[in-house]
Structure 1
């Protein structure tokens, strides 16, 4: 396998002896590429992300650059793969800077100096890049929901992992920060050679910022490809049960316009 390629094959995972994701395979992803996972609620998106992060048992294969990740100790898995959940834990008595430094110390990536000054510089650089350096000394428990989400992103990015997993990274952000986060994630992926997989609900954001898109339905892949291939009216009808148009704006960006929903007698929900 080419160095850095992420390959997911025949993956199954779930809870309490019930598979939520069943026999799922993803398109191979090279370093620097971004993939968005889309689909309705309960399609298995977050469950899949947690399995890729090594946070719950899974069957099948997750290979990164020829190394099988399933079965690795969690610490070794975490050196290669970083997971950003939807929300940070509540009532964490740390400042933003302390939290970012702590994330870097917990599983330090290869090549980083272990001295306090070097780690602090790297943490501050990430906060500046995200645009929240002014919050460095604020307590996490004093932040708004959007600010906490940006702090969580800083914790993920500071380690510059080989694979970055983001669960709804823009859900609590206003339009300005949504755009900034998506730009930052795309730039970081290409600059640092990271593979990024993110769960999104906003189809337009996914279409604009993703190299590949996978739509899930009931724990299986309903469609996969580049945005033009994956986001078609037929796919949206099957996956979301809606009547939609997919058009290209004057700048070449896909626009998804939902006109109606299918009623139960007309079309069964798939």
Structure 2
């Protein structure tokens, strides 16, 4: 797998639906290779819309530069050579086994090596399946899996493509605590190993703080805070963005958040 070394710069992004602006003039400082960035914020803050724009699935104005490339001007097929998107909603009825689906993701990848042997592809697919923790499900049909198991299979399909930028929309929403932590550790490890840039939407603030290099807080389609977890998630952010009163204190492995009460909207 290639080691990636290009930074991602998002400048003045504006987008929306049916004439209604969801995100307007949103910019972020450069995201560096190997960084894990979590997008947090209340419902309808623009988190998924931003990911879809970065994936080339949602028309947007502005600039998204990966190294010297302007991603927004690339055809979707070329865009997909560099960026992989895992949506929150996954297909329900797919007549493939987990292993077949992950092998298919290798073969369909725009950067796939057509000379790679079938055995090499199989080993690559199984390595990712094992690392995600679903080796025992490799021969199971996708349509027989639970929602959480399908989420893990979809993550394996995304990871095996080895993208420069990986966009994950709530990748742990259907998982139990063990697999939530397993996935977060795997995502961070792969980012470090490959120089991959990972942006993910999360709702659990403590998990985001523990496993992210940066947290971007979105509210009303704008950046309310951005920085290391201890700087981005504060008492004021809880009050202003989430409308709850509470206290945020540092811990060895992230942040501890005590919620006192809800505030009027």
- Alignment TM-score, normalising by the size of structure 1: 0.93
Cross-structure match for 1:82: 84
Cross-structure match for 1:266: none
- State which of 68, 71, 91 in structure 1 corresponds to 2:93: 91
Task: Verify the 8 A CA contact 1:87 1:148 in the aligned structure 2.
Answer: no
Separation (CA, whole Å) in 1 of partners of 2:114 and 2:5: 21
Cross-structure match for 1:254: 255
- State which of 110, 125, 128 in structure 1 corresponds to 2:127: 125
Whether 1:107 aligns to 2:109 is yes
Separation (CA, whole Å) in 2 of partners of 1:126 and 1:252: 26
Whether 1:196 aligns to 2:198 is yes
Give the deviation of 1:44 after TM superposition.
Answer: 0.6
Q: Alignment partner of 2:81: what SS? A: helix
Query: Could you say if the C-alpha distance between residues 187 and 112 of structure 1 is closer, same or farther in structure 2, counting changes exceeding 3 Å?
Result: farther
Q: Alignment partner of 1:177: what SS? A: helix
Q: Alignment partner of 2:29: what SS? A: coil
Task: Verify the 8 A CA contact 1:6 1:30 in the aligned structure 2.
Answer: yes
Separation (CA, whole Å) in 1 of partners of 2:45 and 2:101: 32
Separation (CA, whole Å) in 2 of partners of 1:140 and 1:91: 7
Gaps of 5+ in 1: 264-268
Give deviations 1:46-77, integer Å, cap 9, x for gaps: 01001101111110000001210002111111
Query: Could you say if the C-alpha distance between residues 146 and 252 of structure 1 is closer, same or farther in structure 2, counting changes exceeding 3 Å?
Result: closer
Separation (CA, whole Å) in 2 of partners of 1:42 and 1:112: 42
Q: Alignment partner of 2:259: what SS? A: strand
Separation (CA, whole Å) in 2 of partners of 1:252 and 1:104: 34
Give the deviation of 1:199 after TM superposition.
Answer: 0.1
Equivalences for residues 20-59 of structure 1 within 5 A: 20-59=22-61
Equivalences for residues 165-244 of structure 1 within 5 A: 165-244=167-246
Q: Alignment partner of 1:25: what SS? A: strand
Cα-Cα RMSD: 1.5
Task: Verify the 8 A CA contact 1:75 1:107 in the aligned structure 2.
Answer: no
Query: Could you say if the C-alpha distance between residues 113 and 229 of structure 1 is closer, same or farther in structure 2, counting changes exceeding 3 Å?
Result: farther
Separation (CA, whole Å) in 1 of partners of 2:114 and 2:135: 21
Separation (CA, whole Å) in 2 of partners of 1:82 and 1:63: 15
Give the deviation of 1:117 after TM superposition.
Answer: 2.1
Give deviations 1:15-66, integer Å, cap 9, x for gaps: 1122211111122111000100000000010010011011111100000012
Cross-structure match for 2:16: 14
Query: Could you say if the C-alpha distance between residues 167 and 94 of structure 1 is closer, same or farther in structure 2, counting changes exceeding 3 Å?
Result: same
- Alignment TM-score, normalising by the size of structure 2: 0.95
Query: Could you say if the C-alpha distance between residues 110 and 97 of structure 1 is closer, same or farther in structure 2, counting changes exceeding 3 Å?
Result: closer
Task: Verify the 8 A CA contact 2:167 2:200 in the aligned structure 1.
Answer: yes
